[in-house]
Amino acid sequence: MIGEINSNLDIAMLVVFALVSLAILTALYRVFKGPTLGDRVVAVDLLGVLAVGFMALYSLVTGESVYLDAAIALALIAFLGTVAFARYYEIDNRRRKARNPGPGASP
């Protein structure tokens, strides 16, 4: 595919590469400009998913299965990172509520 474009599949792969690259750029924008921490975490998770997709597509183009192995490892790490953040956020939220009960809470 590197030398010349000779089929519809090659054109489709180039379009997909361009679209995934655009999605990565927009996710990076949300990481840096996200109004809340939750938005940033979702964007980082999206970057992980897009990287896995990019690696899978690259594996398809080159015919090398080693990129699929790397994509699987990255998907696992990204998932575990998201779960760890969700757990941390839940614990932190509970601590904040315990320190500052709402207006309807009894003393």
pLDDT in tens, 61-78: 888 999 999 999 999 999
Q: Domain residues for 55? A: 8-98
Q: What is the mean pLDDT of the chain?
A: 88
Residue 69 covered by a domain = yes
2 found inside a domain: no
Count Cβ neighbours within 10 Å for each residue of 77-94 and write b for 16 or more, e otherwise: ebeeebeebeeeeeeeee
**Is 23 within the bounds of a domain?**
yes
Please determine, for residue 105, whether its predicted confidence score (pLDDT) is greater than 70. no
What's residue 45's pLDDT? Answer: 93
Asked whether residue 3 is domain-assigned, the answer is no
Residue 2 has pLDDT above 60, yes or no: no
Query: What value does the mean pLDDT take over residues 9-21?
Result: 92
At residue 59 the predicted structure's pLDDT band, cuts being 50, 70 and 90, is very high
Instruction: Measure CA of the first residue to CA of the last residue in the chain; give whole Å.
Output: 70
Q: Is position 40 within any domain? A: yes
Number of domains forming the structure of the chain = 1
**pLDDT at residue 101, as a whole number:** 75
Domain-embedded: residue 1? no
Return the pLDDT at 104: 62
Give 39-43's long-range contacts (Cβ < 8 A, gap of 24+). Answer: 41/82, 41/85, 41/89
